[in-house]
Amino acid sequence: MFKIVLITGISGSGKSVALRLLEDAGYTCVDNLPVRFLHEFIASTRESKLERVAVAIDVRSPGELAELPDVITGLRAMGTAFRVIFLDANDHTLKQRYSESRRRHPLTDRLQQGGKSPSLQECIDTERELLAPLREQEHVIDTSDLTPGQLRAWVRDLVQADRAPVVLTFESFAYKRGVPGDADLVFDVRCLPNPHYDSTLRPMTGRDAPVAEWLAQFGSVETMIEDIAGFIRRWLPLYMQDTRNYLTVAVGCTGGKHRSVYVIEQLAQRFADHSPLLVRHRNQPPPDLP
């Protein structure tokens, strides 16, 4: 089956990492393809009988980016299996990455006026404004506190997900690191009993049996899980009617290690019959890639 993945998003958010993962997975990859060539490129890949293709398009395509949402809509109307992944990160993370890499923002020269170069913040703000229409209608991954390994794992899981009315994603996170920007629904479980204060359980995670057994003994934990599950069951059909393709449910605790992880795992069990279903733990080590 012919599949095409479009990687886009904010400069410095990890698009190169995602594209390399897809290349390693057997995709034919093209970086910085001008928007006007997208139709022609897809047609040529079909003729060449390539089954998996990945394209990166971002703010480096001057004057054409505003046309991209309409181009994507047109391709989908023609029956193209088109999955778009929008990578984002908060301003602090982006500035830190630019500082470490010592690279210039791609908008630096285009925004230069009177011989004066714009600040990095001005470039980021302009880029967000240019990409806003695309971000609002596609799947977003906030890479702010993700390791490259985590990002590779998340992209791999996403592109392998079969097409369905809604890709349902359950994601745990740590409030001390901020609410992830890719979350659609956010639930706070910091009010639940905390295994962190048990020295035996502290090194473990919510995926370990001793932690799960400890949390399962509290009625409040079960009630919280059932309340969240009930909310999702009630409103998921309406989200599906809203023609959206993705719904990310984020559950947070203080450190993103015990309670939120356990609750996410329990929710995943309750919605195991939904396909495709993705499970992410933002503050846990990534799984080993095959």
Residue 162 in this model has a pLDDT that exceeds 60: no
Q: Is 256 annotated to bind ligand?
A: no
Of 262, 144, 250, residue with least CA distance to 196: 262
The pLDDT, as a whole number, for residue 276 is 85
Q: Is 14 annotated to bind ligand?
A: yes
Q: What pTM value is reported for the model? A: 0.69
- Specify the range with the lowest mean pLDDT, choosing from 10-14, 44-48, 100-104, 113-117: 113-117
The pLDDT, as a whole number, for residue 90 is 94
Write out pLDDT tens, residues 191-215.
Answer: 999 999 999 999 999 999 999 999 9
Percent of the chain surpassing pLDDT 70: 93
- Residue spans per domain, the chain: 3-160, 167-281
Average pLDDT of the chain, as a whole number? 88
Q: Is 15 annotated to bind ligand?
A: yes
Fold of 3-160: Rossmann fold (3.40.50)
Percent of the chain surpassing pLDDT 90: 53
Write out pLDDT tens, residues 119-138.
Answer: 999 999 999 998 888 887 67
The pLDDT, as a whole number, for residue 48 is 86
The pLDDT, as a whole number, for residue 289 is 47
Of 176, 187, 185, 168, residue with least CA distance to 144: 176
Q: Is 114 annotated to bind ligand?
A: no
Task: Give 65 or 265, the one with higher predicted confidence.
Answer: 265
C-alpha separations of 245 from 23, 69, 206 in Å: 24, 15, 29
Residue 163 in this model has a pLDDT that exceeds 60: no
Q: Is 58 annotated to bind ligand?
A: yes
- Phi/psi of residue 84, each to 5°? -110, 130
What is the spatial distance between Cα 201 and Cα 196, in angstroms, rounded to a whole number? 7
Beta-carbon count within 10 A of 253 CB? 27
The pLDDT, as a whole number, for residue 62 is 62
Cβ-based neighbours of 104, under 8 Å, separated by 6 or more: none
The pLDDT, as a whole number, for residue 228 is 98
Residue type, 160: Q
The pLDDT, as a whole number, for residue 117 is 85
The pLDDT, as a whole number, for residue 80 is 79
Q: Is 13 annotated to bind ligand?
A: yes
